[in-house]
Amino acid sequence: MAQLTNNPLLQKYATPFETIPFDKITIAHYLPAFREGIRLHQLEIDAITTDAQAPSFENTIEGLEKSGKVLSKVQQAFYNLLHAETSEAMDSIAEEISPEETAHANAIYLNAALFERVKAVYQQKESLSLSAEQATLLQKTYDAFVQKGANLTDDAKEKYRTYSQALSLASLQFSQHVLKETNSYRLLITDKSELEGLPADLLDAANAKAETKGEKGWLFDLSYPSYVPFMKYADNRQLRKELYMAYNKKAVGGDNDNQMVVREIIDLRLKIAQLLGFENYAAYALHHRMAKNASNVYQLLDQLLVAYSPKATQELNAVQAYAHQMGADFDIMPWDWSYYSEKLKEAEYSVNDELLKPYFELEQVKKGVFGLADRLYGLRFEKNEAIPVYNPEVEAFEVYDDKGKFMAILYTDFHPRESKRNGAWMTEFKGQYTENGVDSRPHISIVMNFTRPTASKPALLSFDELLTFLHEFGHALHGILSECTYESLSGTNVYRDFVELPSQLMENWGTEKEYLDGFAVHYETGEQIPQAYIEKIKASENFTVGYQCLRQLSFGYLDMAWHTIDQPYSGDVRAFEINAWAKAQLLPAVDGICMSTQFSHIFAGGYAAGYYSYKWAEVLDADAFFVFKKQGIFDKETAQKFRKEVLSKGGTEDPMVLYKRFRGQEPAIDALLIRTGVK
C-alpha cells in the first residue's frame, strides 16, 4: 500500500503549474500507478454504467470524457519517456503493462450495458440542442465504441480482444527492435584519410563521440546528425555504402528482425478491420479522415506522381551527368544520391549546410522560432528552471499571450541520446480542457535529434534542422493555442490528414528573408546573414523537389499497399515492398535493405493508412501560406484568423469546415505546384 500512498504519480503534483515531478518519479512507481489508475478508471466506468438516471449527454458522454484522468496522467508521463528517455527497465514495464491496458480498454468499449447508454444518447442527438463541439464529442464517442467492437457478437468480441492485445504487443516490439538496431551500429574510423570531404564540425563531433566511448578516432552512428551529413559529404564511396546499408537494413535479420512482426501487425489489423465489416484496414482507418477512402488517397498520390515525375527524372539525369563530370564511371546508386546532388547544388547555387550553419546557432534559432510565435500570435516564452525535467538537456518554458494570460508549458529536448528514438516529434504531457469554468492549460513537448555542440563550437543547425524545428513548433502551437472544452478534442486531436497543416505551414517562413533577417546572425561575429545567402536559399528551395516528392509518394504507396490487402500476407516482406512502391522509385533497388522493417510511422505510430497525410497537408499548407504571402507574412489579421478558425479549435468540428472558414474556399493543388516550380 505504501507503493500507492507515496507514489508521486498518484498525488497532486506540488510543482509549478502541476507539471510532472520527474525528479521524484522512479522506475518502481510506474507499474503500481498504472494498475491503480486502471482500477480507479474502472470504478468510474462502473458508476456511469449503473447510474439509475436515464442516459444523458452529461452523465454518459461527458462522464466518459472526464473519466480516467489518473490513468491518463500515468500514461502521458510514461509513454513520452519511453520514446525520449527509455531504458531496458522501461521497455520491460511497457511489455508487462501493455496487455493489461488493452484488456482494460476492451472492457470499456465491449461493455454492452455502457454502449447501450451511449447509443441511447446518440439516438437522441437531433433533439439535444448540442453545441458543435458537443455534437462532435458525441459522434466521436459513438464511433469509437463501434470501431472498437461494441456492435459485435459475443464470439466476435472475444476475437477482437485477442487481436487487439496481440497488436498492441507487436507494435511495441516493432518499436523496440528499431531502437535497438539504431543503437547497436557503430562505424569507428581511425585513419583520417578515409574521411576526406567531411566538414570539420562533423569530424569534431565524431571525435568527441569516440572519446565518450573510450575509443580513439572518429565514431559515426545512425543518428540524424551523424548519418545525414556523412552521406552528403563523405568522398569515400565505400564508406557511404557501408553506412547506407547499415541504416537501411535495420531490423532485417538477427535478434531484432521485424519482418515477421510486420506480417503479424498487418494480419492483425486486417482481422480487426474485417471483423468490423470493412474490406481492409485502410477502409477502416480512412472512414474518419478527410480523405474518406483509399480511392481518394490514390487519386492524390497518382495526381502528384504525374505532376512531379518529369521533374524528378530531369533531376536524376542532371545529378547523373554531374557525377560523370566529376569522374564517376558508374550509374549512381542510393548511397551516391545525397553526395552528388549536394555537389550539384553547391555548383549551381553556391550554397551548402556548412556555409549556412554558422548563422543558425541553436540559441539564436530558438529566439527566432519563439519570436515568430510572438509576431504572429503575441506569445512570449519564459524559461523556468524550477520545473522538473526528465533529462538535464531538457528546458521548460512558461508561455503567455499578449494579454498576460498563461497559455502552456513548453518542454524542448533537442539532441540525440541512446535512450531516445530517432526523428522529431511533438507530444503533450497534459492536454488542454475546460472544466467547471476553469481553462486547464496544456503541457507540450517538442523532441528532436539536432547536431550537438562540440568543445569548440555551440550547436549549429543545418537548414533542414531549422525547418524541422519550425515544423514541430507548428504542432506545438496547435496545442498551446487550443481553446476547447474537451481534452479528447483539443490541440492536435484532429484527423490524421489534417494534423500536419499547422506544422508544415510553419516551415514556409524558413525561406523568407524578412523572417531570417530577424535572428540569423553569425555565431562568432554577430554579422547578419548576408542577403546573397538568403537569395541562395530561396533559389535552391526547389532543388530536387521532384525527387523529394516521389520519395514521399513512395512511402505513401507502400503504406497504402500494406493496408489495402484483403488477405493475410505470408510472403516476403521485401518483395512486397519492391512491388508496392515501384512506380515512384527512381534509383535502382538494392538487395538486402527494407523500409518496412523500420517504418515506425505506420507500424509503431499513428500513421497506418495515413502516411499520405504529409502530401495531403502539403496541399493545404501551400494554399494557406498563399494567403499570408498575399497579405504579408507577419500580417496579424491573417494570423489571428488562422488561430481562431484552425489552431484554437482542435478537432471540435470537421477540419474542412474549419479550413474553409479560414480560407473562404476549399484548398486547390495549384498553390503547391506553383510554390514548387512545377506549374
Q: Is residue 488 part of a domain?
A: yes
Count of domains for the chain: 4
CA dihedral 597, 600, 603, 607 (to 10 degrees): -140
Q: Which of 548, 585, 192 is closest to 345 using CA atoms?
A: 548
- 478 and 550 share a domain? no
User: Which pLDDT belongs to residue 281?
Assistant: 98
Q: Is residue 165 part of a domain?
A: no
Question: What is the DSSP track for 507-575?
Answer: HGGGG-HHHHTTT-B-TTT-PBPPHHHHHHHHHTTTTTHHHHHHHHHHHHHHHHHHHH--S---S-HHH
pLDDT tens-digit profile of 208-241? 999 999 999 999 999 999 999 999 999 999 999 9
The domain boundary, picked from 214, 248, 282, lies at 248
- 241 and 290 share a domain? no
Q: What CATH number does the domain containing 101 carry?
A: 1.10.1370.40
- Residues of the chain below pLDDT 70: 1-3
Structural domain boundaries, residue 202 = 185-248
- 598 and 637 share a domain? no
Question: Of 361, 428, 465, 472, which is the active-site residue?
Answer: 472
- 512 and 627 share a domain? yes
User: Which pLDDT belongs to residue 5?
Assistant: 79
**CA distance linking residue 424 with residue 411, whole number of Å:** 13
Q: What CATH number does the domain containing 596 carry?
A: 1.10.1370.10
The domain boundary, picked from 228, 248, 268, lies at 248
- 239 and 275 share a domain? no
At residue 296, what is the residue type? N
pLDDT tens-digit profile of 340-384? 999 999 999 999 999 999 999 999 999 999 999 999 999 999 999
472 in catalytic set: yes
- 517 and 586 share a domain? no
The domain boundary, picked from 591, 611, 631, lies at 611
- 312 and 236 share a domain? no
User: Which pLDDT belongs to residue 430?
Assistant: 98
**CA distance linking residue 469 with residue 480, whole number of Å:** 16
- 75 and 144 share a domain? yes
- 525 and 561 share a domain? no
- 412 and 508 share a domain? yes
- 510 and 370 share a domain? yes
Q: Is residue 96 part of a domain?
A: yes
Q: Is residue 336 part of a domain?
A: yes
Q: Is residue 177 part of a domain?
A: no
Q: Is residue 605 part of a domain?
A: yes
Q: Is residue 171 part of a domain?
A: no
Q: Is residue 415 part of a domain?
A: yes
User: Which pLDDT belongs to residue 416?
Assistant: 95
- 137 and 113 share a domain? yes
**CA distance linking residue 524 with residue 543, whole number of Å:** 29
Q: Which of 595, 596, 584, 599 is closest to 553 using CA atoms?
A: 584
User: Which pLDDT belongs to residue 3?
Assistant: 66
